[in-house]
Chains A and B, each alone.
Chain A
Amino acid sequence: MILPDSFLFVISLADTGAVLFLLIYFIITLSDLECDYLNAQQCCSRLNQWVLPKIIAHVFLSFLLLVHGHWILMLINLPMAGWMAYEIVSVPSGNLGVYDPTEIHNRGQLKRHMRDCMVYLGYYLVFFFVYLYCIIVSLLKGDPINMKDEGEIITEF
């Protein structure tokens, strides 16, 4: 299932874009909770169902990069995957998920979640542009527009 590089990065870009949208949804939901538009239960049940898709998307992308031999990109992605896995594993057995409605208002947890989401957001934003750059590089690698022969470009138009 080796895909061409450009296609791989298009997938990466789409994946990262989706996660970005998800994170924005997270932030909106959390700030709704902060402003009392939502109650804790609704908020947490909404968010918890997306925690797993988020890590799956991330791990899937890392796996894809690994398969295609993009070692460096994969290694950069790995710590984040590890952190997300830790977040899920470290949920106490009695809690309802990463976002627990009974604790989210305690000890500044809400703020911490908000901060985490912001960090995620920044991280994915950076990677969004990294992948965008990779797409362009990979598209240009095959010299599709025949940069060596400038004259042709001009004459084409």
Chain B
Amino acid sequence: MAQIPSSQLPPNRSVPTSQLLQHSPVSTITQKVTGLNINQATGTVNPRFSTSTPNAQSPISFRQNGSFSPIAVPNKNVLGSGAKLESVPLTSSSSSSTSMKTITNSITTAYQSNHEAPQVTTSSKPTDPAHQFQASSSVQHQGPSSQFNVNPILGIGLQKNLVQQNSLNPLQRPQMPTQSNSQNYQPQVSVDTVNQSGQNYVNRGVYPKSNPPAESYNYQNLQNYTPTSNIPSHLLLSQNNNQNALNNQLRQSNVPFPTNKPYVVDNQLRSNIPSNLQQPPMSQNSTPVTSQNFMPPKPSMHSNRYPTPTNANFQQQQSNTTSQWSNQLYSNRNPLQPQQMSTTPSSNTYVQSQSTYPGHLQNTYNQPHTTHRPLQSEYQGVTQSGFNKMWGMEHCDLLQIPNILPEVKEPPPQISLGHEVFDQANCSPDIFRCTMTKIPENNSLLQKSRLPLGVLIHPFRDLNHLPVIQCNVIVRCRACRTYINPFVLFVDSKRWKCNLCYRINELPEEFQYDPVSKTYGDPSRRPEIKSSTIEYIAPAEYMLRPPQPAVYLFLLDISRLAIESGYLHSVSRLLLEELKNLPGDARTQIGFVAYDSALHFFSFAEGLSRPHEMTILDIEDVFLPTPDNLLVNLRDKMELVSELLSQLPTRYNNTFDNNSALGSALQVSYKLMMATGGRVTVFQAALPNVGPGALTVREDPSQRTSAEVSQLNPANDFYKRLALECSGQQIAVDLFIINSTYVDIATISGISRFSGGCIHHFPLYKMTKILDQELFEKSFRRYLLRKIGFEAVMRIRCTRGLSVHTFHGNFFVRSTDLLSLPNINPDAGFGMQVAIEESLSDVQTVCFQAALLYTSSKGERRIRVHTMCLPVASSLQDIIHSADQQCIIGLLAKMAVDRSMQSSLADAREAFINVAIDILTSYRVSQNLNNPVSGLIAPTCLKLLPLYISALLKYAAFRTGTNTRLDDRVKAMIDMKTKPLYILIQMIYPDLYPVHNLENQRLIQNVEEENIPMPPRLHLSSRCLDSKGAFLLDMGERMVMMVLSSVPSEFLNEALGVASYDAIPDQMYEIPILNNPRNQRLHQFINYLNEEKPFAATVQVIRDNSPNRVVFLEQLIEDRVENALSYHEFLQHLKTQVK
């Protein structure tokens, strides 16, 4: 798609909002290449019935030992076959559960007699679940209003029980008497939710102008059903699942019914529809805020469905700050942009609180057999979108929403396992994240959804709270060696069932003891069961040798280019400062080797007053000049090391050696460290051009802008081979590349890639450039002080039926699922692609477990275990709506790097576009959008996908046409593979905030509970800039503040401490600390942004007319730059492709 004649493209860089909705001409020719997914099926989506029948004997059902939920009692009457669950309650809880059972039984009987609910047949007949269920549920539908007056005796208790019963087994869809349930908890709303509903309502916030009836209708319904505090969201979730499944079953069954029974039922159902639902939507007067009392589903209930001036007022109040802001700042901005963010956190409660009733209604309308009145067809769209919204299945037309970016950072989608205990225990999304929050039950479903399946993991992340356990026996499955985790099933108090391989294991006696409460009896109170991120102090059987000491070796390039860059000054100074703070114990060792065309060793032998330098000129066949004293104990030889560090910066000032023997230096460091393992830190400034592993300049500078990028692959296998040898001896090599010329990162990075190292790149580094130096020092200081794990291995296990087939990151895959990581650091992220090899239809959840075994810098062997549990879903819609767009982007970027290396960059770019097209197409198919829809429809959970993809296409790793140095491109690709997701997203799509009016912004609280002004995020487009403003661009490691020409002088004086706009110096690299509120707010805000970063970003303030402005402007990636499409043009292109 890059080959679009420039004449066809709009000439101007920025697209005014007014033009945004016009179609811009975009080439329609795109050769369809297989997407990134390596095994893409091309099959079309067939409407099919969901065949997943509830399976009471499924291996993972809910936990039943009674301690987890108050009413974990299988109830035959209600649950039908669900009662067949292998229930062996723990002795400790059996008495309570028995009594509870009695109660529930009696309640259920009453409930059934009251409602005359038909006994839903058990699911052993898989014939036609959709029809079956439709029949049963619509029968229940017959007398909603009469049944509505629930027996006061049963009251809330009954409703709760029922709801919980259902929630226990979220995937047992057809058995759920959903209709009755909804009726049942409706009265509860009237009792309990008065406190919140007003607020909730307000939270729902502003809707896009496009279809107000739908939104407001939906809204109104929700209002009536908002259950809020009393029903925990996880309990309601099951309903949601059921609804979705039901909905899908029905939706997919749009073929003529095989029997006429549903037909009849269908008519019955229709006759029950409140009459005004069949009328076209019209605005009616109502006061929805006060309508918290339940209203029965009779016509009057639906009378106040549409927003009224009252609503508008509420919305106004809530979105006070934001809309104020947007109105002030951008007069041409759509004031009614959707506030996705504000709804998202509460959406769980919200979404799940729908009643069955409208769902049936909607589905009825979808039936081809109903007579179709024009009014109804109009109505269908309204209801459908309304209900979709309620179920979190809303979609939006990307072309209609210019400001699609949520105002605050998108939180990761929540995984809902249908049980609060599980949900709380699940692994933090910061550590473990899957591209979807529901796993498709088989491979064909995955292929239909066209989403990539994979997990991203950040295993050694710095954590504030981490339970550490020291015990004699680490409880693991005997078959698959899985560590015990919160998602295992306790068969009884002595045995547990592995959730990965389903083997039943014995529980050691020790595990019965709870160290916290010092009591016996309940294994579920153990920290292993309560938290899915846990660290064990490993006993001796986890060591092949005594834990190694922390060993640090520094390889310093002292060729002419390196000396000119002056990096030695920074390195020596920082090392001197931090020498005492290096992580390690009393055994910590340190050593230095410098190299140009020779190798310079520094011996710290006993009795020397200053370090002794030994130079070895033979670099072809390297050897160690002395067997010891090259790597020395840091504490013993602190003075000598300090002496060396103080001499180093000036020691080689007079060298004019242009060569750099990196290969030999690495070989000697391998020999030096072979016995212990450890970390080698290489500072490389010049192309290694002598000795083993010598390289030549491969880059042709004239080709930097061309579309064809070659030389992305290594030139030789020297570094890879050496890295594998290092990896075998537990040596990791980290690279700091401070080059001013081409150094062939593609080749030399191999030494880090396969030895578990990390790579830092400071292009065109010069000590005299303050910003570069600041960034280098911050990054190096963080590097020195951060946690480090030695001789690590990581193993990823997953539930039977899934398999991890491709790994991304810096490590060596030693065997099928064992990653060898000589070093692990807190800033390393990994990605894995997962394949579904067997059908998962007989399980309800799948788990991934990552176990990282490492030696801490204190010489302790530790195991950090992360477990993530995900539900299995069987419908395409569920799958698509469970997508995690950021994680998908993270994984796609990694896959695209592989693709560019193996085939070509053009291929990778095509694949990106095809992924977007495929996903949007499959969504359209899943929605059964029969009538041609004009816009570009995307589910809400994937609405940012095209934005991120268009940003990726302009990112240094994948862009073409823009001048990109080969080294920078390769480094960007390495970042794509190794950075943790939150950093990656910020690199791809930096955050832009307006900072000139922080006093008017919404306040949020940081960890210390201070109020921080939080301006909304802006699109990276010049249309979002305002000449009266100042804008802060947060790119992760760097921040750039752009001050535009007409910014108020108070801001300049107070916040930035400069007299006028023109007084802003060209090199303003910090914001002075002044004693006024504006300045404090700005600092507060910047500090807040820095909180979660590995190190505080550098700040650069630039004027609009400064020569540095390009630093800022090149990040406005939504606009058209050179021959790359703007975001809107990209959408137009997608639209032509999505069929």
* Residues A94 and B816 in contact in the complex (CB < 8 Å), given A101-B724, A106-B805, A108-B805: no
- Cross-chain contact A94 with B806 (CB below 8 angstroms): no
Provide the bound-state CA to CA distance between A96 and B806, in Å.
Answer: 19
**B813 proximal to A (CB < 8 A):** yes
Which B386-422 residues have a C-beta within 8 angstroms of A?
Answer: none
Provide the bound-state CA to CA distance between A94 and B750, in Å.
Answer: 9
A106 surroundings in chain B (CB, below 8 A): 805-807, 813, 898
- Cross-chain contact A36 with B815 (CB below 8 angstroms): yes
B717 surroundings in chain A (CB, below 8 A): 93-96
- Cross-chain contact A92 with B813 (CB below 8 angstroms): no
- Cross-chain contact B805 with A107 (CB below 8 angstroms): yes
* Residues A94 and B713 in contact in the complex (CB < 8 Å), given A102-B720, A106-B807: yes
Which B797-840 residues have a C-beta within 8 angstroms of A?
Answer: 805-807, 812-816, 818
B807 surroundings in chain A (CB, below 8 A): 105-106
Closest residue of chain A to B39 (Cβ to Cβ) is A108
Closest residue of chain B to A33 (Cβ to Cβ) is B815
Closest residue of chain A to B835 (Cβ to Cβ) is A108
- Cross-chain contact A40 with B715 (CB below 8 angstroms): no
Closest residue of chain B to A39 (Cβ to Cβ) is B814
* Residues A105 and B750 in contact in the complex (CB < 8 Å), given A93-B713, A93-B715: no
| Chain B: interface residue total (CB-CB under 8 A) | 23
Provide the bound-state CA to CA distance between A102 and B723, in Å.
Answer: 10
* Residues A102 and B812 in contact in the complex (CB < 8 Å), given A93-B716, A107-B38, A107-B806: yes
Over the window 103-145 of chain A, the binary record of Cβ atoms lying under 8 Å from chain B Cβ atoms (1 yes, 0 no) is: 0111110000000000000000000000000000000000000
**A146 proximal to B (CB < 8 A):** no
Q: Of A40, A95, A96, which one neighbours B813 at CB under 8 angstroms?
A: A40
Provide the bound-state CA to CA distance between A95 and B747, in Å.
Answer: 11
- Cross-chain contact A94 with B724 (CB below 8 angstroms): no
**B721 proximal to A (CB < 8 A):** yes
Which B667-723 residues have a C-beta within 8 angstroms of A?
Answer: 713-717, 720-721
* Residues A94 and B714 in contact in the complex (CB < 8 Å), given A40-B814, A102-B813, A106-B805: yes
Q: Of A39, A93, A96, A108, which one neighbours B721 at CB under 8 angstroms?
A: A96
Q: Of B720, B812, B815, which one neighbours A94 at CB under 8 angstroms?
A: B720
Which A18-57 residues have a C-beta within 8 angstroms of B?
Answer: 33-34, 36, 38-41
Over the window 744-763 of chain B, the binary record of Cβ atoms lying under 8 Å from chain A Cβ atoms (1 yes, 0 no) is: 00010010001000000000
* Secondary structure class of chain A's binding surface, majority of residues: loop
B961 surroundings in chain A (CB, below 8 A): none
Q: Of B38, B714, B715, B814, which one neighbours A41 at CB under 8 angstroms?
A: B814
- Cross-chain contact A105 with B813 (CB below 8 angstroms): yes
**B208 proximal to A (CB < 8 A):** no
**B728 proximal to A (CB < 8 A):** yes
Q: Of B38, B713, B720, B815, which one neighbours A108 at CB under 8 angstroms?
A: B38
Q: Of B38, B714, B813, which one neighbours A93 at CB under 8 angstroms?
A: B714
* Residues A36 and B816 in contact in the complex (CB < 8 Å), given A95-B717, A105-B807, A108-B38: yes
Closest residue of chain B to A94 (Cβ to Cβ) is B714
Closest residue of chain A to B38 (Cβ to Cβ) is A107
B38 surroundings in chain A (CB, below 8 A): 107-108
Closest residue of chain A to B815 (Cβ to Cβ) is A36
Least CB distance from A32 to B in Å reads: 10
Provide the bound-state CA to CA distance between A76 and B807, in Å.
Answer: 40
Provide the bound-state CA to CA distance between A105 and B814, in Å.
Answer: 9
Least CB distance from A43 to B in Å reads: 9
Provide the bound-state CA to CA distance between A107 and B815, in Å.
Answer: 14
Provide the bound-state CA to CA distance between A104 and B898, in Å.
Answer: 14
Closest residue of chain B to A105 (Cβ to Cβ) is B813
Provide the bound-state CA to CA distance between A101 and B38, in Å.
Answer: 20
Provide the bound-state CA to CA distance between A52 and B23, in Å.
Answer: 59
- Cross-chain contact A34 with B816 (CB below 8 angstroms): yes
Least CB distance from B791 to A in Å reads: 15
Provide the bound-state CA to CA distance between A127 and B806, in Å.
Answer: 36
Least CB distance from B794 to A in Å reads: 13
A95 surroundings in chain B (CB, below 8 A): 717, 720
- Cross-chain contact B812 with A101 (CB below 8 angstroms): yes
Which A67-113 residues have a C-beta within 8 angstroms of B?
Answer: 92-96, 101-102, 104-108
A107 surroundings in chain B (CB, below 8 A): 38, 805-806, 898
Closest residue of chain A to B715 (Cβ to Cβ) is A93
Provide the bound-state CA to CA distance between A74 and B724, in Å.
Answer: 41
Over the window 1104-1131 of chain B, the binary record of Cβ atoms lying under 8 Å from chain A Cβ atoms (1 yes, 0 no) is: 0000000000000000000000000000
Least CB distance from B980 to A in Å reads: 20
B898 surroundings in chain A (CB, below 8 A): 106-107
Closest residue of chain A to B719 (Cβ to Cβ) is A94
Closest residue of chain B to A101 (Cβ to Cβ) is B724
Least CB distance from A51 to B in Å reads: 15
B715 surroundings in chain A (CB, below 8 A): 93-94
Least CB distance from B207 to A in Å reads: 45
Provide the bound-state CA to CA distance between A149 and B717, in Å.
Answer: 67
Provide the bound-state CA to CA distance between A82 and B620, in Å.
Answer: 37
Closest residue of chain B to A102 (Cβ to Cβ) is B754
Provide the bound-state CA to CA distance between A34 and B38, in Å.
Answer: 20
Least CB distance from A29 to B in Å reads: 13
B721 surroundings in chain A (CB, below 8 A): 96
Which B884-939 residues have a C-beta within 8 angstroms of A?
Answer: 898
B815 surroundings in chain A (CB, below 8 A): 33, 36, 38-40, 105
B713 surroundings in chain A (CB, below 8 A): 92-94
Provide the bound-state CA to CA distance between A86 and B898, in Å.
Answer: 21
- Cross-chain contact A94 with B747 (CB below 8 angstroms): yes
Provide the bound-state CA to CA distance between A95 and B902, in Å.
Answer: 12
Provide the bound-state CA to CA distance between A41 and B815, in Å.
Answer: 9
Closest residue of chain B to A38 (Cβ to Cβ) is B815
A36 surroundings in chain B (CB, below 8 A): 815-816, 818
A38 surroundings in chain B (CB, below 8 A): 815
* Residues A94 and B716 in contact in the complex (CB < 8 Å), given A41-B728, A101-B724, A102-B754: yes
B754 surroundings in chain A (CB, below 8 A): 102
B716 surroundings in chain A (CB, below 8 A): 93-94
Provide the bound-state CA to CA distance between A119 and B724, in Å.
Answer: 30
Q: Of A93, A101, A105, which one neighbours B816 at CB under 8 angstroms?
A: A105
Which B775-811 residues have a C-beta within 8 angstroms of A?
Answer: 805-807
Least CB distance from B803 to A in Å reads: 10
Least CB distance from B894 to A in Å reads: 11
- Cross-chain contact B747 with A41 (CB below 8 angstroms): no
Provide the bound-state CA to CA distance between A38 and B754, in Å.
Answer: 18
Least CB distance from A33 to B in Å reads: 7
B812 surroundings in chain A (CB, below 8 A): 40-41, 101-102
Closest residue of chain B to A92 (Cβ to Cβ) is B713
Provide the bound-state CA to CA distance between A102 and B750, in Å.
Answer: 11
Least CB distance from B808 to A in Å reads: 9
A39 surroundings in chain B (CB, below 8 A): 814-815
Closest residue of chain B to A44 (Cβ to Cβ) is B724
Least CB distance from A99 to B in Å reads: 13
B805 surroundings in chain A (CB, below 8 A): 106-108
B816 surroundings in chain A (CB, below 8 A): 34, 36, 105
Closest residue of chain B to A104 (Cβ to Cβ) is B813
Provide the bound-state CA to CA distance between A101 and B728, in Å.
Answer: 12
B814 surroundings in chain A (CB, below 8 A): 39-41
Closest residue of chain B to A106 (Cβ to Cβ) is B806
Provide the bound-state CA to CA distance between A120 and B586, in Å.
Answer: 57
A33 surroundings in chain B (CB, below 8 A): 815
A93 surroundings in chain B (CB, below 8 A): 713-717
Closest residue of chain A to B750 (Cβ to Cβ) is A94
B720 surroundings in chain A (CB, below 8 A): 94-96, 102
Provide the bound-state CA to CA distance between A95 and B812, in Å.
Answer: 14
Pull 11 A–B residue pairs with CB atoms less than 8 Å apart, ordered by A: A34-B816, A38-B815, A39-B814, A41-B724, A41-B728, A93-B714, A94-B714, A94-B747, A95-B717, A105-B813, A107-B898
- Known contacts A101-B812, A106-B805; can you find 7 more A-B pairs with CB under 8 A? A34-B816, A40-B813, A93-B713, A93-B716, A102-B812, A105-B815, A107-B898
Which positions in A face B, CB cutoff 8 Å?
A: 33-34, 36, 38-41, 92-96, 101-102, 104-108
Which 3 A-B residue pairs are closest in the complex by CB-CB distance?
A94-B714, A105-B813, A36-B815
